[in-house]
Structure formats: structure tokens, C-alpha cells
Amino acid sequence: MCRRLKSSALAGDVGLSIPAKSRKAACGIRVAASALPSARDAVHACFSELRGETYQHVIVFFSSEHDTGVLLGELNLAFPDTPVSGCSTAGEVGPLGMMQGGIVMIAFPEVGFRVLSEVIPGADQAGVERASEIARRLKTQMILGSGRTVRDNVFALALIDGLSNKEEALIAAIHWALDDIELIGGSAGDGLAFQRTTLIHRNAPVRGGALLFVIASEAPFAVFKTQNFEPTATKLVVTSADAENRIVYELNAEPASREYAAAIGLMPNELGPFSFASYPLVVKVGGDYYCRSIRNMNPDGSLSFFCAIDEGLVFTVARARDMIKSTQDTLEALDRRLGGMDFVLGFDCILRRLDSESRQVRHKVEELYDRYGVAGFHTYGEQFNAMHLNQTLTGIAFGKPEVHE
């Protein structure tokens, strides 16, 4: 488990009752979180927890409620000689639990890691083509500087504009070029507004596109995903859609919202984020089921999705299983595999958080994440190797580094 650093406040205090809270993992990664509403105060509070060491790269996950210009200005003042990159969120996860309106910083140390990164500009076709080129270049740079087999000690991390509607194409292009390097990541969010997401790279704003990191680690690690739903017998076929914008107008040749509501036993006017979280739609790919979650219902009764859709796609209505048990089983298995988990960088779907709140188990999820040192953010979509997913927790779990005599 992680060794935790207590803040100057009383242990156990959370949220606004303390300026910030941090952890330090045995592998050297440090995590700091603040729920202070002022970007200036939150950055200063996190920096006070991280000061005293030099870092190779700091990755920051921040609420869209924070003004990007103010945030960047404060980050540049706090870390003038350290690259800072990251994205806006639909919620933050860290030492203070699950937050909305907060900041979480993941600081990679100078020793034990090597971090390479580039911006993939835009999410159009040119951006997709550039994605493969950039991924190949970062992999080559890492191979030249690595003394071990790349697959054994290198992973990739992608942060993508969550409103680009191009995650599938970008991830496929990146994964193809990376080949044997495993990939995880998340789609940037802006709460539940679905208006504008923000990326920053090396202390500067990025418009659209994605960030790609290729990271070498001396500590053992394992990439994973976990989900908590099971398919039912109910099928819904997409009979009218705008694939480019991920909008479904008809299911089973009926208005989409009306047909979906009938399938889950609700009226259309009762639909909302909590029902979308509790009754996800899934598709079968290669013998396994993956979510294609609904983002929101539009005024005309159509449904917008977080993932790619197309006419003729067959959805299966799913129902949730025990989120606590499924997540705990996954984390316990990782703990055994790694001989003791040290830290987890996690990308958790916003719909999982909403579902935990609807079922009144959010506090149990927070307890579980705290036990295993999970830090990251709530996403508009999760990346796992070649797949863009919904309603999952994906991430990378780190074990304790080997001790050389």
C-alpha cells in the first residue's frame, strides 16, 4: 500500500476543512489534492504538499470551474522549471476522495521514471494521421533510452478532448503505432455541462486534440479495466442516427428516448444522467460486452452518446451489478499480482460516480479507492489499449520497486 503523508490539518478531515492532502508512494510518485474553490489557493495548497523535491513531470486533473488562464498562471509560478500537463474533468479522485470543483496533481519523480510527451493536434483526419506518427516517434525515443524490453517497463497514457467525437479513431491509430506498449487514459470533461473541455501541455493551453505520454517505470505495473454490468435479453437496434455527431434518433424504428425509456420501465420525461448510469446500453465485441453509454437526451427526443454509434448497431440493455464487489475483486487481484499495490492512476467514468450516488454507495467507493491509493479523474470515456470505453474504471496499478542489493 501507499505510505501516506498527512497534511498539517487533523487526519481524517476532508474537502474544504483542509487546504490540501497528499500521498507519497514507495515508487516515488506523489499525489496532492485540494478542494479549495480558488484556483490560486488550490494550486498553492497542492504545491505546499509537493515542495521539497524536484519532479520530471506533473500531471494535473482540474475542475472546469477553474479559469484556465488563472490556473496556468499559478501552475507556472509554482512549477517554473517543471513541465505541467493535464486536462479538465467531470470530477476528480484523490486523497480527499471524489471531488467536484477540485484539483489533483500527480508528480512523477526525477528518479525511477522517464516521461516523454507530445500534443496530437486536432481530432480531424489529419490529427488521426499525425497520432500514429507521434506515437511511433515517442516509442522510438523511449527505446533508444531504455535498457530493457519496452513491453516490460513502458506504458502509454492518452488524455483526449472528451467532446471531439474522435476518440475511437485516435486510440486505434495510437495503439497501432505503439504495438506492444499498453495504453490507458481518459477523455477530458467539464462536469455535466458538455460544452467545452480543456487540455494543457507543458504549461500551455491546447485546443482540442489529445496529449500522449510514453512513460518508462522501474517499478512493476499492470494495466487494467473493471466494469460492473451484465447484459439482459432486451435488444435495441439503431434505425436512424447521425454517426458523426453520435446522435441516435430512432431505436427499433421508434423515437429513441421513448423506446429506451420503455425498455427500462420509465417515461421519457424521467430520463436523465442517473437512469443512463443505471441502465447502460452495451454492444458485443469479440465475445465481450462494452458500454456505449448515453450522454444526454436532446430536446427533440434523440439521444447523444459518449462513444461511436452507427445505424444498424444492435444495443443490449444492461443492468448494473455490485460496483463495490466488482471493483474490489479487480483491485485485490492486482494487489496479489504485484505483490502489494503501491499506487493506482485511475480513469473512472462519470456514469460510475453517478450510479454510486444513485445507489448510495459513493462512500464505499471512496473508502475502496483510498485503501488502494487510487488517484485520477472522472471521465467522458476511458481508453484501454485499442478500445474507447464507457462505464468502466481503467488504469495502471504500480507495485513497489525492486530493491537491488
pLDDT in tens, the chain (405 residues): 333 333 333 233 445 568 999 999 989 999 999 999 999 999 999 999 999 999 999 999 999 999 999 999 999 999 999 999 999 999 999 999 999 999 999 999 999 999 999 999 875 666 788 999 999 999 999 987 655 556 679 999 999 999 988 899 999 999 999 998 999 999 999 999 999 999 999 999 998 889 999 999 999 999 999 998 889 999 999 999 999 999 999 999 999 999 999 999 999 999 999 999 989 999 988 888 888 899 999 999 999 999 999 999 999 999 888 999 999 999 999 999 999 988 999 999 999 999 999 999 999 999 999 999 999 999 999 999 999 999 999 999 999 877 554
φ/ψ (deg, to 5) at 137: -65, -45
Q: Domains of the chain: which residue ranges?
A: 1-226+321-405, 229-320
- Strand, coil or helix: what is 34? strand
Give the span between the Cα atoms of 78 and 273, in whole angstroms.
37
pLDDT of 207-235, one tens digit each? 888 999 999 999 999 999 999 888 999 99
Give the span between the Cα atoms of 100 and 74, in whole angstroms.
20
Q: Which amino acid is at 160?
A: I
Q: Which residues pair with 284 in a beta bridge?
A: 289
Give the span between the Cα atoms of 190 and 92, in whole angstroms.
11
pLDDT of 138-168, one tens digit each? 999 998 765 555 667 999 999 999 998 889 9
pLDDT of 263-290, one tens digit each? 999 999 999 999 999 899 999 888 888 8
Sheet of 341-349, strand order: 97-99, 92-94, 374-379, 341-349, 392-399, 221-227
Give the span between the Cα atoms of 208 and 82, in whole angstroms.
23
CB 356 within 8 A of CB 349: no
CB 257 within 8 A of CB 297: yes
Give the span between the Cα atoms of 112 and 98, in whole angstroms.
28
The pTM score is 0.90
Residue with cell 429506451: 260
- Strand, coil or helix: what is 4? strand
